Amino acid sequence: MKDSLARLRAEAALCTACPLYRNATQTVFGEGAASARLVLVGEQPGDQEDLSGKPFVGPAGAVLDKALGDAGIERKSVYVTNAVKHFKFEPRGKRRIHSKPNAGEIKICHQWLAREMAVIAPAFVVAMGATAAQSLMGKTVAVGKLRGREILFPENQRGLVTVHPSYLLRIPDRESKAREYRKFVADLQLAARLAGA
Ligand code: URA
């Protein structure tokens, strides 16, 4: 049977392909319309995404929402997803501290991203951060080298690589933070223009 996003979401909810499902609350699948021309890919759900079941609803999501607004892009017009669909964390007291997914977890979870992309067939995809870029490229890439210009991902998928919104949250210096934020907004604007969105 042909994949649909609803079918994929239901299947992914039962995914046990890597051990990350054991400690996570639930699979956090992508969100948005199958007709979206632009797909944004992040790393993995964080604490709040894990609890709510929705991508980019926590602090990184707030940065993304603001940047989308400043870029003139409506969030509901794009499809937002992650390279890895379960929250990976280390327990520290009552807190759950984000832990970076490894190459094996990224590779195993790529099936879901690949199937989302096959259903949506977007005009353009934005890899936000190294994990998303690695998943889409099938190898590790240096974000700084590729950032901000159109590239071809495997299978002739047009897109670009930019930073992850949580990188912007971690920049301590106000001026650098503002400059990097403007570059992120410019990358989103370029992506929307190239997507014809
Ligand atoms: N960071 C991500 O990469 N994805 C989310 O959904 C939330 C935070």
What would the pLDDT profile of 80-136 be if each residue is shown by its tens digit? 999 999 999 999 999 999 999 999 999 999 999 999 999 999 999 999 999 999 999
Cβ atoms of 101 and 131 within 8 Å: the answer is yes
Nearest to 127 by CA among 139, 97, 118: 139
Class of domain 5-195: alpha beta
Ligand 1 neighbour 49 (Cβ under 6 A)? yes
What's the whole-number average pLDDT of the chain? 97
Backbone angles phi, psi at 177, to 5 degrees: -60, -45
Backbone angles phi, psi at 105, to 5 degrees: -65, -40
Span from the CA of 93 to the centroid of ligand 1 (angstroms):
22
Ligand 1 neighbour 45 (Cβ under 6 A)? yes
pLDDT band at 3 (very low <50, low <70, confident <90, very high): confident
Pairwise pLDDT comparison (197 vs 108), residue with the higher score: 108
When pLDDT is averaged across residues 46-58 and rounded to a whole number, the result is 98
Span from the CA of 194 to the centroid of ligand 1 (angstroms):
24
With a cut of 80, say whether residue 197 has pLDDT above it: no
Model confidence, pTM: 0.97
